[in-house]
Amino acid sequence: MSLREIGAPDAARIAKREGQHKYDHGHVLVLGGPPAQGGAGRLAARAALRVGAGLVTLACPPAALAENAARLDAVMLRALEGMEDLERLLADPRLSALCLGPGFGLGDRERDLVAVALDAGRPTVLDADALTLVSRERMLRQRLHPGCVLTPHAGEFRRLFPGTLDDGSRAEAVRAAAAETGAVILLKGAKTLVAGPEGLAVHAATGARSAPWLATAGAGDVLAGLIAGLLGRGLGGQEAAEAGVWLHVEAARIVGPGLIAEDLPEALPTVFRALGL
């Protein structure tokens, strides 16, 4: 099976132009977790903002508001108790993309919130705990739609699609998963595979583009936020996934050894300048 190589994103697709305002670049909603588990959601939210989303809101349990307020400035906060709160937030048509899963939780509350979010039909990144919930709950799997981007690592992929990764090639497994769900599937790894309506593509963070220091806590949360931010700005699911992967690795290469996840969003302005934005 031939694989298309993922290259640098089209700068014109992610540039900002004179005369635009923040709502021209979308509003991303990230669902955060409980107190003392909010770091992953904050990383995703900051990445979405750095990649150019006009606004980002982190919605979290009321008990986690103070913790998040102490760590965030440009990212807005909203209290999110249960399904009715999320339905009220989603009544705003300006919310252009969602990010579900980083540090989110695995209880009944979180299961129900993922169901509400999926039923909204908006561009949605599912990562981490959201993927675990989808693998456990048939009713969530049935709600996946073409606007979804799933970003599993190998273990999560095996839970979502049992047997497929071990019985055949990674490329074929990812292609089949995208066909089954109708969603864009991004299988993370040194060679990251993305499958969706534009076929199958690979980004190899090896050789000259090696970035082994991405093997650090929170790097995947940043990737989820990058993709959500690009979705919020109007890129299609596969385009956003591929651009997010390339930007993620490029930021890591700029930072170099010693990288921690918080460094990745801060390296994006350097990446963008090199792209001519």
pLDDT tens, 156-206?
999 999 988 876 689 999 999 999 999 999 999 999 999 999 999 999 999
Single-letter code of the amino acid located at 35: P
Question: Which sign does the torsion angle of CA 168, 171, 174, 178 carry?
Answer: negative
Q: According to the model, what pLDDT value does residue 195 have?
A: 97
Q: According to the model, what pLDDT value does residue 164 have?
A: 83
Q: What CA–CA distance (Å, rounded) separates 182 from 149?
A: 10
Q: According to the model, what pLDDT value does residue 244 have?
A: 98
Single-letter code of the amino acid located at 248: H
Q: What CA–CA distance (Å, rounded) separates 156 from 153?
A: 5
Q: What is the pTM of this model?
A: 0.97
Beta strand 55-60 pairing with 27-31: parallel
Q: What CA–CA distance (Å, rounded) separates 228 from 159?
A: 23
Residue numbers of the chain with a pLDDT score lower than 50: none
Q: According to the model, what pLDDT value does residue 163 have?
A: 84
Element (DSSP H or E) covering residue 19: none
Q: According to the model, what pLDDT value does residue 218 have?
A: 97
Q: According to the model, what pLDDT value does residue 168 have?
A: 67
Q: According to the model, what pLDDT value does residue 165 have?
A: 81
Maximum C-alpha span of the chain: 53
Q: Which residue has the tokens 């979308």?
A: 26
